[in-house]
Chain A
Amino acid sequence: MADGILDLARAVSAAALATDGVYSLGIGRYAEAATYEGGEKVSGVVVKPDEVEVHIVASYPLAKPIPELAQLIRDRVAAEAGERRTSVVVEDIEVASEDL
């Protein structure tokens, strides 16, 4: 498990991006979705005291329904998030470049 919140955000970001069906991480629709520490930031992951929010852009066409994709992300992220619960926010669906 990661030590600082920025390390945690980086680990969660890497785990989410490695999930099949995730095109990229989102940047937030209504407010910037990012974690800040020591002048650095990790976009797409918001680490809160009891929750980790992962903002994703899903790949189109969807390989599986969004709730299943979210569960896959949660499973991958669980080891990094520890006691914090994981929320997944789908911000967009993008056509993967190889499908263009």
Chain B
Amino acid sequence: MRIFNRIVVVLLLVGLAVLGVYTVVYSFEAFGHQLSDLSTTLQGFTSGFEGFVGDVENGNLPILTIALLVAIALLGLVLLIMELKPPRPRRVRMQRGTYIVPDVVRGEVESAAEETPNVLGSTTKVWAKRRPGALVNLQADVRRGEDANALKSELRERVQQHLAKTGVPLGRLKLKLVEADPRETKARVQ
């Protein structure tokens, strides 16, 4: 949401800057613009808006406009819910009063993954859940032609067992196998 908020603020400031430029141009009657012209421009805008509101009141809106308004309302609702949701915690909660930083979980997942036969390297991303547990995305590098399904299930089992032994509750484990050139991976042989 930080990025969205930033975009909104940038758009708002751009709008204010444009309005400021218009005000200066019309106030000093620069480039042949007269302040009296502004009221005509504004009248055009307000009459258009009044017409739109009138159509809304009378129920004369085209179907495309209705769809657009519904989409805007839904988008607003989704953004409101996202804004109201509490932020994701920075530390992974294990149980009441015990936390672990995601980097440690990442290290444990990678060590379990890289001990698995035929895994040449791995990249892991870990996030804390709002409830106890960690969300783990694991991408493992394997040679071309490996049995992906068997490798995936073995990898999943090893990571789950290792984290259970460590005591880190696992919320979700997403696995992705990537065929990689062994010359570019952490280990060439496993």
Q: How far is the CA of A47 from the CA of B69 in the complex (A)?
A: 52
B36 nearest CB across to chain A (Å): 58
Binary contact track B88-114/A, C-beta < 8 Å → 1, others 0: 001100110111110110011000000
Q: Of residues 13 to 72 in A, which have CB atoms within 8 Å of B's CB atoms?
A: 29-30, 62, 65-68, 70
- In the complex, the answer to whether B97 meets A66 with C-beta atoms within 8 Å is no
Is the C-beta of A11 less than 8 angstroms from some C-beta in chain B?
A: no
Measured in the bound complex, the distance between the Cα atoms of B166 and A66 in whole Å is 6
A55 and B25 CA atoms in complex are apart in Å by 60
* Given known contacts A29-B103, A70-B98, A89 and B166 CB-to-CB distance under 8 angstroms: no
Q: Which residues of B contact A87 (CB under 8 A)?
A: 97-99
**A90–B103 touching, CB < 8 Å:** no
Asked if B167 is at the interface (CB within 8 A of a chain A CB), the reply is yes
Tally B residues with Cβ within 8 Å of A.
17
When distances are taken between beta carbons in the complex, the residues of chain A under 8 Å from B90 are 29-30
User: Of residues 58 to 94 in A, which have CB atoms within 8 Å of B's CB atoms?
Assistant: 62, 65-68, 70, 74, 85-93
What distance in Å separates the Cβ of A27 from its nearest Cβ neighbour in chain B? 12
Instruction: Indicate whether B134 reaches chain A with its CB closer than 8 angstroms.
Output: no
**Does residue B165 face the partner (Cβ distance < 8 Å to A)?**
yes
Contact yes or no, B166 A70, CB < 8 A? no
| Known A29-B103, A89-B91, A90-B104; contact A65-B167, beta-carbon cutoff 8 A | yes
B62–chain A nearest beta-carbon distance, Å = 52
Residues of A within 8 A of B97 (CB): 70, 74, 85-88
Known: A67-B95, A93-B104. 16 other contacts (CB 8 A): A29-B90, A29-B101, A30-B90, A65-B165, A65-B167, A66-B100, A66-B167, A87-B98, A87-B99, A88-B98, A89-B99, A89-B101, A90-B98, A90-B100, A90-B101, A93-B108
Which chain B residues have a beta carbon within 8 Å of chain A's beta carbons?
90-91, 94-95, 97-101, 103-104, 107-108, 165-168
Instruction: Jot down 17 A-B pairs with beta carbons below 8 A, ordered by A.
Output: A29-B90, A29-B103, A65-B167, A66-B94, A66-B98, A66-B100, A67-B167, A70-B94, A70-B98, A86-B97, A87-B97, A88-B99, A90-B99, A91-B101, A91-B104, A92-B101, A92-B104
